[in-house]
Structure 1
Amino acid sequence: MRQRLAHVLIRGVLPASLMTLAACAPAPIYKPSSNTIAIAPDTVAQAPERFANADVIWGGRIVEIRNLADRSEVEIVGYPLDSSQRPKADGSGWGRFIAVMPGFVEPFNYPSGALVTLAGRVTGSRAGAVGEANYVFPLIGVAQSHVWTADEMNSGKSNISFGVGLGVGVVR
Structure 2
Amino acid sequence: MKALWIVTGMFLLAGCATPLPRSLRAPHITPVSVAAARAHIAPMGVRVRWGGVISKVTNDPHATWVQVISRPLRHDGRPRRARFSDGRFLARVPGFLDPDIYAVGRKITVVGVFSGYKKSLIGSYRYNFPMVRTFAVHLWRIRPHYYTRYYYADPWYYPYPWPWGWGVGLGPGFGP
Secondary structure of the residue that 1:85 maps to in structure 2?
Answer: coil
8 Å CA contact retained: 2:106, 2:142: no
Shift of 1:167: 4.4
Shift of 1:145: 0.5
What 5-or-longer segments of structure 2 have no aligned partner? 146-150, 159-176
Counterpart selection for 2:25 from 31, 49, 54:
31
Shift of 1:150: 2.7
Trace 1:12-31 onto structure 2 (pairs within 5 A): 16=9, 20=12, 23-29=15-21, 30-31=24-25
Deviations 1:49-93 (A, max 9, x none): x42111001110000101112211000011111110110023311
Deviations 1:6-61 (A, max 9, x none): xx9xxx89xx49x8457423201222422x2112112102217x421110011100
| Alignment correspondent of 2:99 | 107
Counterpart selection for 1:125 from 117, 129, 141:
117
8 Å CA contact retained: 1:70, 1:102: yes
Secondary structure of the residue that 1:101 maps to in structure 2?
Answer: strand
From the superposition, tell whether residues 168 and 61 of structure 1 become closer, same or farther in structure 2 (CA, over 3 Å): farther
Give the Cα separation in 2 of the matches to 1:79 and 1:57.
Answer: 11
TM-score (structure 2 length as normaliser) = 0.70
8 Å CA contact retained: 1:61, 1:89: no
The residue identity in structure 2 corresponding to 1:147 is: L
From the superposition, tell whether residues 33 and 166 of structure 1 become closer, same or farther in structure 2 (CA, over 3 Å): same
What 5-or-longer segments of structure 1 have no aligned partner? 1-7, 155-164
Counterpart selection for 2:49 from 43, 57, 80:
57
From the superposition, tell whether residues 139 and 68 of structure 1 become closer, same or farther in structure 2 (CA, over 3 Å): same
Name the Cα RMSD after superposition. Answer: 3.0
Give the Cα separation in 2 of the matches to 1:125 and 1:168.
Answer: 59
Trace 1:40-119 onto structure 2 (pairs within 5 A): 40-47=33-40, 50-119=42-111
Shifted more, 129-138 versus 69-78: the winner is 129-138
Give the Cα separation in 2 of the matches to 1:92 and 1:21.
Answer: 32
Shifted more, 36-45 versus 55-64: the winner is 36-45
Give the Cα separation in 1 of the matches to 2:95 and 2:26.
Answer: 25
Shift of 1:123: 1.2
Give the Cα separation in 1 of the matches to 2:154 and 2:14.
Answer: 33
Determine what percentage of the aligned residue pairs are the same residue: 23
Does 1 or 2 have the higher relative contact order (CA < 8 Å, sep 6+)?
1
Aligned residue pairs total 146
The residue identity in structure 2 corresponding to 1:71 is: A
Higher alpha-carbon Rg: 2
The residue identity in structure 2 corresponding to 1:42 is: A
